[in-house]
Amino acid sequence: MVDSFKFLPRLIAAFYRNQQPLVEGEIPWTPLTKPLSQCKLSLITTAGLYCKDDQPPFDTEREQKEPTWGDASYRSIPTDRSPDQIGLSHLHINPQPILQDLNVVFPIQHLRELAAKGRIGSLAAQAYSFMGYQGFPPNPRAWLETSAPQVAAALHEEGVDGLLLTPV
Amino acid sequence: MLARFFEAQGFATLLITNMPYWAEKIGVPRTLAVEHPFGQPLGKPGDGQRQRQVLLQALTLLEQAQQPGQIWQDETPWEEDLEEAIRNWQPLRPSPIIRYLQPRIRDLIRHKGQFRV
């Protein structure tokens, strides 16, 4: 079994173990209705990625001033952008591995190759990034009420069938 | 939380995570668990082979899962000294919330908290 606490500092692990998520309802379920080779896939990460040329970074300045607040906005990342056009704004991880090789969290290049080989039908034109820190106590509702519905609408518009999610 | 939301919106989702603990507690449609430090769910920079391996497993689970809640475990060990790996994934400067909570961390650990998903 993967040890979920292996890489957490001891005190943080202890804190997490005491947290209980209040979950309502069954696990949602959308089966794939066609083979993966006919599906359009997109990618959603929480690494705080943004397009350097035309988008602002996530608001880490405000988070510095208000540590219990996290930026709930999202960025739409065209999947034809090259890695050097993509920046990262996230105060809770070391960005270096991602800046060295975007594939460690945003494997667009690999997905494009898999689409070319027919393993997947196609890679969507847009992928998405959120920024994982959502305040303290954690408030994922901000995502669910604001950005996530907008991303869902955009994904529907593009005819996306499946999503890979790569949190940090 | 995002996986549940997007699944409910009509997308087949696959979560790649190093904390299957949360996936199990929250109830995630399809999960691939990898024992990686935070920030590198696909693998190390430059390790295309491992990245592709993780991705292909993810796609296989996406394709094969027949009911919600499956968690596939990839127990491939992370090749790095553990103490270094724990240090290396963390930001150079502790995050604002860590600095803010530092004086209160022991009280917080004793407090059993709940948060709505």
ipTM of the complex: 0.96
Which residues in chain A are closer than 8 Å to B83, comparing Cβ atoms? none
Following DSSP, what letter does each residue of B34-71 receive, concatenated? E---TT-SS-STT-HHHHHHHHHHHHHHHHH--STTEE
Element (DSSP H or E) covering residue A115:
helix A108-117
Structural domain includes residue B98: no
Among A126-135, A139-148, B41-50, which stretch is predicted with the lowest mean pLDDT?
A139-148
CB–CB contact A167 B15 (8 Å): yes
pLDDT of residue B66: 95
Structural domain includes residue B26: yes
Q: How far apart are CA B54 and CA A153, in angstroms?
A: 28
User: Is the predicted pLDDT of residue B117 greater than 80, yes or no?
Assistant: no
User: Is the predicted pLDDT of residue B57 greater than 90, yes or no?
Assistant: yes
Chain A: give the shortest CA distance to residue B5, in Å: 7
Structural domain includes residue B78: yes
* Arithmetic mean of pLDDT over chain A: 95
Nearest CA in chain B to A2: B35
Contact map slice: B 25-84 vs A, CB within 8 A: 25-29, 33-46, 48, 51-52, 55-56, 58-59, 62-63, 66-69, 73-75, 82
User: Is the predicted pLDDT of residue A98 greater than 80, yes or no?
Assistant: yes
Structural domain includes residue B105: no
Q: How far apart are CA B88 and CA B107, in angstroms?
A: 27
- What's the structural domain count of chain B? 1
* Arithmetic mean of pLDDT over chain B: 93
Q: What is the extent of the structural domain holding B19? A: 2-91
Per-residue pLDDT averaged across A141-152, rounded?
94
Which one of A17-26, A49-58, A139-148, B91-100 scores highest in mean pLDDT?
A49-58
CB–CB contact B117 A105 (8 Å): no
